[in-house]
A and B are shown apart, each in its own frame.
Chain A
Amino acid sequence: MLDAQGPAAKEALFLWWLMFGMFTLVFFAVIILWFVAIQKKHAAENNTATMHRRWIIGGGLILPTSAMVLILFFGIPAGHRMLPLPSDSEEIFVIEVTGHQWWWEVVYPEQGIHLENEIHIPVNTPVDIRLTSNDVIHSFWVPQLAGKLDVIPGKTNTLRLQADNPGEYRGQCAEFCGLNHAFMQFTLTAHSPENFAQWLQEAQ
């Protein structure tokens, strides 16, 4: 996940570094205040009115509220951009993936291609993965490209992902699904447009 290769993963990574930076500051500020308070040699003046204002309003209300507003300011639009909303500008490539105990069935509905545990996509193109389950709940996750989405019986969830660079990416089931959950893996290969066209032809 730290080596993000798709727009959704990059946004999540940006949010991570933003929050990591902010919260490291908050963390050390709180801990330093704590130790100063413990180490002080003399009891402070006990003026409750200013105490309440200074500590509880400042630290208890203003600090968390402003931190939250800042995070949500970046976070909510980022979350919105990750959703599989209908796009006017470009056509979305659709792949259907079904979770089984303990393998992934991959179908290209328009091309009539059937695969097991491997997915091929064109680079720089948004792809919608339509997820459903044949048995228990699984979760579809390619850490370097996008967040995960649960694969639930009786329900079709759609995950949008896109690879910015050609290459082979590791995918794994992220929801505990029984005995061989650890081995429920797949590879996702992103091809350049020419290579992808060639692959399609060969696979059909």
Chain B
Amino acid sequence: MTQESLSFPAKFHQQLEKIWGNLPGWGSLAAVNHTSIGVRFMVTGMFFFLVGGLLAMLIRTQLALPDQEILNAQVYNQVFTMHGTVMMFLFAIPVLEGLAMYLVPKMVGARDLVFPRISAMGYYCYLFGGLIILSSLVIGIAPAGGWFMYTPLSDATFSPDKGPDFWLIGITFVEISAISAGVELVVSILRTRAPGMTLDKMPIFCWYILAMALMIVFGFPPLILASILLELERAAGWVFFAVDGGGDPLLWQHLFWLFGHPEVYILFLPAAGIVSTLIPVFAGRPLVGYRWVVFAIIVMGFISFGLWVHHMFTVGIPQLAQAFFSIASMLVAIPTAIQIFAWIATLWTGKVTFSLPMLWITGFLIIFVCGGLTGVMLALVPFNWQIHDTHFVVAHMHYVLVGGMFFPLIAGLYYWLPHYSGRMPSHLLGRWAFWLTFVGFNVTFLLMHLTGLLGMPRRIYTYEAGLGWDWLNLLSSVGGFIMSIGIAMLIVDIALHFRFGRPAPHNPWRADTLEWATGTPPGSYNFASIPEVSSRHPLWDNPDLPATIAAGEHHLATIEHGRRETLGTDPINGKIRDITHVPSNSWIPLQTAMVIAVVCLCLLTKIYWGALAAAIVVFVMLYRWSWHNGAHPVAAPVRDDDPVNPPLHSRTFDGPGLWGMVVTLLSNGTLFLSLLFGWFYLWTVAPNWQIPDHKAFSISGLFISGVSLTLATWIYLNTLKRLRQKNDLQLEGRLWISTLLGFFHIALLIFIFAAADLRPRTMAHDAILCVMMLYLLLHSSMVTIATLLQALRVRKGYVSRTLPYEPMVLQPLWLYCLSIYWISLAVFLLLPQMRGLA
């Protein structure tokens, strides 16, 4: 207990804790609170890190001496595939997302993330997906085709085992979690900042997280699409990547690296955010060039989406494109350099306190600068042709990822540990851990550059003696074991500190940001009252802020209503717009994730009827989830003392749900664009692409179905217009008309699809048409059923003139369905025909 909370009636805090706290015992599985979920993400991520590290040790043991057979080729291939997969998908991204989930609400002055149930479901999707992937390793049928799963090596002909299925299904499952966290972080940062926190007063860390979250939102869909297509090719024989039927294996590489390159920056940005947060604190001065750094973050986000081809320089891409991608790849050096020099400048302006987190930051700088420079080398095409897929690249990539992500992460961990545990870490053990890790890392990977220059390729499970690689590999292995001792020491240090660390004073590092204004450890509600913010450094301006917050002297210091509330503010200027109420503990996220896990397991065991049944149950559960919203008794039923100024968000036309819908649709739209990309790519590049002579679909039927969808959307929009004018006459009837027109559209579409003469197993053209049809059907069904539920909610009294919020959330979905329908018709059906006529 901190001093401040004792000075205020403890009863108020107890009431807050009662509303915001997790359920006791097993009930904590129903927790949705961002502090709990964030910590769970990080702990689980650390577990997977240890698994990945163990696999790395196996790799180094096998390669320590030439001609070894400690692991045979089969096992080695599984091990290096899983090492990459676990580290990338199950450690790096989830840990950073967990850190962001823990910190972001506290930094922006909110009590929780805006979609707490999504956080919980994301966590369980991650946990179950990760365990499914890991189980394949335990039973010895892990994927062995590399974490990049290149086709045709990963297709049903060359990998008839189950390994790739585990990868494709498990990773897609985990990615649901990543995207949902991405959406949630974007909306939370934009809509729940403390009043007065304009965008340019936002802590720099939140800028980094905003960029990371948006990049996840746009970066993951290409891989999800690619995974779905490859799984369809493997399981159902549909052609997408096989040359014979008009597919192209390079399509996989494009889609994979369209995700894979931004991924690197998705990992680097939050880590750089940690550095940009810690350096000003330890220098005691504000970050030099805040606006420059924000500019650099945004530029980095954009450039990273233009670089994917630099993983494919050796596939034989035309010279002009290679010069272009060479330059684009090198351009990333500019925003990186801006940040590095902003950090040096900040240190220069201040007097630096060199404590443990700074030690890790210094380690980061040394390793990361080195990795960045070898990255510029690799961007140069003629050099890349020599060095691609050698151990030089292995070294480079570990310098960037371990240096650029792991070292800042540990710096951040030490920095924020006192916030979570209320105790300080030990200096002695912490420094030993650092030096062992740092030295071990460099012994392992600095030498590996030379191994690569001497011609050792990646992913070979053994090598002959006498090629000049022997001593280098042995030393690399020794270094690897030194590093693992360092990491073991790190874990011991952190574990011991929870028990023996000396109690932390309040705000031990004299930080400037709001997360240190909560209690340490923080209460489940973060802030007893939410303060106004007038600068980038609220705690430097007013060191008494924690006391006045705990004393309830700021916003939202009432709790009699029993709701979980935080302030909803304007995304740009931070003015108060509404009171956002968020859901309380719920079992639905856990249940939904469990049923999704059943879907995945059924797909893996090829029990397709089971998968279909479970998928339907998932949708039922998601709709049940959506039912517990707005004025529903378990959410925010209408009360006489409902606040008016500002109102509850569910009584307005605009709230986090609408924003969440728009951001999700941006992500979804990227998936659709990836499908269009695949269509045009195969059309123009695939060697055996052909367009069948006959018409697959009845065009007039599709046209009628489309008109029906257009009418449904038009009536829906019209209904909303009336609702905005406070007119809810015949609201329910109008929603029913939209629903019925939607169902007519769907029924017709199903009929046309069933009657169509499509041969997806022999022709990539038809396979893509099938995917398109399924995509359209899925979306039209979602929006129609959701509208049906809205009609029922009008009858129940949850939606009305005074509760107009939910229909607004569905509006973008209707428009999205309408757009993809007509775009699909034009691009997939009419365009090929027009070309045929010409």
B796 at the interface (CB under 8 A from A): no
- Complex Cα distance, B145 from A178, in Å, reads 7
Task: Out of A55, A71, A75, A179, name the residue touching B344 (CB < 8 Å).
Answer: A55
In angstroms, Cα B144 to Cα A59, docked, is: 44
Q: Is A113 an interface residue (CB 8 A)?
A: no
Task: Determine whether A114 belongs to the interface, using a CB cutoff of 8 Å to chain B.
Answer: no
Interface check A201, CB cutoff 8 A:
no
Distance (Å) between the CB of A190 and the closest chain B CB? 17
Query: With an 8 A cutoff between CB atoms, is B427 at the interface?
Result: no
Option from B144, B153, B319, B455 in Cβ contact (under 8 Å) with A136: B153
Number of B positions contacting A (CB below 8 A): 83
> Which secondary structure dominates chain B's binding surface?
helix
In the bound complex, do residue A56 and residue B341 qualify as a contact, i.e. CB atoms below 8 Å apart? yes
- Per-position binary interface string of chain A over residues 148-166, scored 1 when its CB falls under 8 Å from any chain B CB and 0 otherwise: 1110111101000000000
Interface residues of B in 2-19 (CB under 8 A from A): none
Q: Collect the chain B residues with CB atoms within 8 Å of residue A118's CB.
A: none
Instruction: Tell yes or no: B314 within 8 A of A by CB.
Output: yes
Interface size on A, residues (CB 8 A): 78
Nearest-neighbor residue (CB-CB) of B81 within chain A: A176
Of all chain B residues, which has the CB nearest A101?
B158
- Contact status A38-B383, CB under 8 Å: no
CB neighbours of B55 from chain A (8 A): none
CB distance from B184 to the nearest CB of A (A): 32
Contacts of B292 in A (CB 8 A): 52, 56, 60
Of A61-69, A87-95, A192-200, the one with at least 4 CB within 8 A of chain B:
A61-69
Residue of A34, A38, A48, A139 with highest tally of chain B CB at under 10 A: A38
- Known contacts A27-B369, A135-B158, A137-B152; A172/B457 CB under 8 A: yes
Check A82 against B382 for contact (C-beta < 8 Å).
yes
Give residues of chain B (350-405) contacting chain A, Cβ–Cβ below 8 Å: 350-352, 354, 358, 362, 365-366, 369-370, 373-374, 376-377, 380-390
Candidate in B316, B369, B381, B382 with the most chain A CB atoms within 10 angstroms: B382
Residues of A within 8 A of B385 (CB): 12, 79, 82, 146-149
CB distance from A10 to the nearest CB of B (A): 11
In the complex, residue of chain B having the shortest beta-carbon distance to the beta carbon of A9: B386
A75 to B455, CA, bound (A): 21
Bound Cα distance A83, B319 (Å): 8
| Residue ID in chain A nearest B385 by CB atoms | A147
Q: Mark B218-253, 1 if CB is under 8 A from A, else 0.
A: 000000000000000000000000010000111000
B322 contacts A79, C-beta separation under 8 Å: yes
A83 / chain B contacts, CB cutoff of 8 Å: 319
Q: A31: which B residues are within 8 A, CB to CB? A: 365-366, 369
Which segment, of B325-333, B435-443, B667-675, faces chain A?
A: B325-333
Which of the residues B152, B370, B383 comes within 8 Å of A75, measured between beta carbons? B383
Tell me the residues in window 805-821 of chain B with beta carbons closer than 8 Å to chain A beta carbons. none
* Cβ–Cβ contact B249 & A26, under 8 A: no
Contact B341 A176 (CB under 8 A): no
Are B326 and A72 closer than 8 Å at their CB atoms?
yes
Q: Mark A174-192, 1 if CB is under 8 A from B, else 0.
A: 1111111110000000000
Cβ–Cβ contact A60 & B373, under 8 A:
no
Partner of B380 from A38, A75, A173 at Cβ < 8 Å: A75
Is B338 in the interface zone, CB < 8 Å from A?
A: yes
Determine whether the beta carbon of A38 is less than 8 Å from that of B345: no
A177 close to B153 (CB less than 8 A): yes
Q: B152–A176 contact, CB under 8 A?
A: no
Query: Are B462 and A182 in contact, with the CB atoms below 8 A?
Result: yes
Complex alpha-carbon distance, A139 and B285, angstroms: 52
**Which of A55, A67, A135, A150 contacts B341 (CB under 8 A)?**
A55
| Chain A residues in 8 Å Cβ range of B350 | 43
Name the A residues within 8 Å of B348 (CB-CB). 37, 40, 44, 51, 55
Evaluate contact between B373 and A152: CB separation under 8 angstroms.
no
Q: Which residues from A are CB-within-8-Å of B323?
A: 76, 79
- Smallest Cβ distance from B288 to chain A, in angstroms? 5
Complex-state Cα separation, A65 to B331, whole angstroms: 8
Identify A179's interface contact among B74, B380, B454, CB under 8 A.
B74
> How near does chain A come to B178, taking the closest CB pair, in angstroms?
25
Which residue of chain A lies nearest to B460 when distances are taken between CB atoms in the complex? A182
Tell me which of B243, B354, B459 contacts A154 (CB under 8 A).
B243
B558 at the interface (CB under 8 A from A): no
Pick from B152, B248, B455, B460: contact of A170, CB under 8 Å: B455
* B352–A38 CB distance below 8 A: yes
- How far does the alpha carbon of A155 sit from the alpha carbon of B288 in the complex, in Å? 52
Contacts of B347 in A (CB 8 A): 34, 37-38
Nearest residue, chain B, Cβ from A184: B460
- Using Cβ atoms and an 8 Å threshold, which residues of chain A touch B144? 178-179
Residues of chain A within 8 A of B366, CB atoms compared: 31
Residues of B within 8 A of A157 (CB): 315-316
Give the residue of A1, A75, A152 whose beta carbon is less than 8 angstroms from that of B250.
A152
Query: Contact between B377 and A19 (Cβ–Cβ < 8 Å)?
Result: yes
Inter-subunit contact B383/A150 (CB<8 Å): no
Q: Which residue of A lies closest to B388 (CB)?
A: A148
Whether A178 lies near B158 (C-beta < 8 A) is yes
- CB atoms of A181 and B459 under 8 A apart: yes
Q: Is there contact, CB below 8 Å, between A175 and B351?
A: no
CB pairs A–B below 8 angstroms (15 shown): A1-B387, A19-B383, A37-B345, A38-B358, A44-B348, A46-B285, A48-B288, A51-B289, A54-B345, A56-B342, A68-B330, A75-B381, A79-B322, A79-B380, A181-B460
Extra contacts besides A55-B344, A56-B288, A174-B388 (13): CB < 8 Å:
A1-B455, A11-B382, A16-B383, A23-B376, A38-B358, A41-B351, A51-B289, A51-B345, A79-B381, A135-B158, A147-B314, A176-B146, A181-B459
Q: B residues near A, CB below 8 A?
A: 73-74, 77, 144-146, 150, 152-153, 158, 243, 248-250, 284-285, 288-289, 292, 296, 314-316, 319, 322-323, 326-327, 330-331, 333-334, 336-342, 344-345, 347-352, 354, 358, 362, 365-366, 369-370, 373-374, 376-377, 380-390, 453-455, 457-463, 467, 686-688
Chain A interface residues (CB < 8 Å from chain B) = 1-2, 9, 11-12, 15-16, 19, 23, 26-27, 30-31, 33-34, 37-44, 46, 48, 51-52, 54-56, 58-61, 63-65, 67-68, 71-72, 75-76, 78-80, 82-83, 101, 135-137, 139, 141, 143-144, 146-150, 152-155, 157, 170, 172-182
Closest 3 A/B residue pairs (Cβ):
A147-B385, A154-B243, A60-B338
